[in-house]
Amino acid sequence: MLSGTALRNLKPKSKLWVVAGNTWVRAVGTAFNVYRREDGVRVTVSEGAVKVAASRQDVPSDEALARLPVLLLAAGEQVGVRPTGPAKQVLSPPAVEREVARRTGTPHFQDQPFAASSIRSGV
């Protein structure tokens, strides 16, 4: 992944690798977002679990992943992977919903009058 966002929802037992810069994301039957930014990669899990690791290798594999330090993220967790190291956090259910909504382009409003939104004002 060169830039931008990937939102994936996998069927049970389906496997997927996402490589964003030096960050590998290994998913099995889950729903998650990978957002590559200039300062790093952010991974948010909304269902299931994923493994996240930093590697300079180009081709991910389960064997290579087994030799790396790995963060396991469960539903409701997020990690920012930056050159300074990973920063993992637990998100509230509304925060996870906002992350998914942002990636799909779905407007999400909380404690904000609709009149103040950029959708209504055209901004």
pLDDT per position in the chain (123 positions), as tens? 444 455 556 555 667 778 888 888 887 767 888 888 888 889 999 888 889 998 887 788 888 888 989 999 999 999 999 888 889 999 999 888 888 776 555 555 555 555 554 444 444
Task: Find out whether 43 and 78 touch, Cβ atoms under 8 Å.
Answer: yes
Pairing of β 40-47 and β 49-54: unpaired
Strands annotated E in the chain: 4-9, 15-20, 23-28, 31-37, 40-47, 49-54, 71-74, 77-82, 85-90
Sheet holding 71-74, edge to edge: 15-20, 23-28, 49-54, 71-74
